[in-house]
Amino acid sequence: MDAPHPKSTAPRTSLCHYTTGAVYYGEDDLVGDLLGRASFVDVFMKQTFGRMPTAAERRIVDAVLVTLMEHGMTPSVIATRMIYASSPENLQAGVAAGLLAVASRFVGTMEPAAELLERIVAAAGNGAAEAQRIATDYRARREAVPGFGHHLHKPDDPRAVALLQLARDGGTFGARCVALEQLAAEVDAAAGRHITINATGAVAAVLGDIGIPAALMRGFAVLSRAAGLIAHIAEEQREPSGRFIWDLIDRAMTPERQANEQGAV
């Protein structure tokens, strides 16, 4: 006869509970402890990671969120504007569409970059050798190293330079930032030329050095980019561009339309 299964424990959350007269975030009374007393970054960090950030950590998180909020007419922004143009009654649909583009190619590349930095840190005294292996492997596969390269910002990404300097100034420049420098040297050597550290590469390093795990780093991009996409919807409300984007792509990618327009001239 099989042994009886142990009684399962029902899942529960410690993030929030409430009474008829109060709402609690963890053990903090939302009204009595947080409203007007704690910043959004403070509450986000405590809810997500279980602790309030230090002043230096708060400065890094705030800088990362500002950095990732906006970068022009990127795929996430175009998706947001087009969906909002199709469904203007649903602001959230446009934002959700744009957030789906926060992934391994755009905006969210700090996650694979952080994983590489962790490999270098874990190698301890052999970090430089591990960095060389990573750079050589990506070069052999003709793939870009996550956190490196940018089609616009050359020779260096000013956002990455600023974030790393903030970490130096605030005393949070640690093993992951050092690993990033080691990897950068090897990426340059493998390419035979200078390859910029991009913003998400720097984000991976500075967040890693304040204890943020790689698997949650993309959440900072989601949080930040949501704010940026709301700003684009606000601009779309003032100056609609959805029809223009649609028409521009249709004209560029439809040979029949090109021929008809040329023939009409």
**pLDDT tens-place string over residues 27-60:** 999 999 999 999 999 999 999 999 999 999 999 9
Residue 169, judged by CB atoms within 10 A of its CB (0-12, 13-18, 19+), counts as exposed
Q: What confidence score (pLDDT) does residue 104 get?
A: 78
CA distance 31 to 25: 10
Q: What confidence score (pLDDT) does residue 255 get?
A: 77
Query: Taking the model in full, what pTM does it have?
Result: 0.89
Domain borders along the chain are 14-52, 54-248
| CATH assignment, 54-248 | 1.10.230.10
Q: Tell how far CA 193 is from the center of its chain.
A: 27
Residue 52, C-beta contacts closer than 8 angstroms, at least 6 positions apart: 38, 42, 45, 46
CA distance 109 to 135: 16
H helices present in the chain, as ranges? 40-49, 55-68, 75-86, 91-99, 110-122, 127-140, 158-170, 175-191, 199-208, 214-238, 242-253, 255-264
CA distance 233 to 158: 27
DSSP 154: -
Average pLDDT, the chain: 92
CA distance 250 to 244: 10
CA distance 126 to 132: 10
- The residue among 116, 211, 146 whose CA lies nearest residue 172 is 211
Please identify every stretch of the chain with a pLDDT value under 50, giving residue numbers as ranges. none
Q: What confidence score (pLDDT) does residue 5 get?
A: 62
Q: What confidence score (pLDDT) does residue 256 get?
A: 72
> How many Cβ atoms are within 10 Å of 161's Cβ, its own excluded?
15
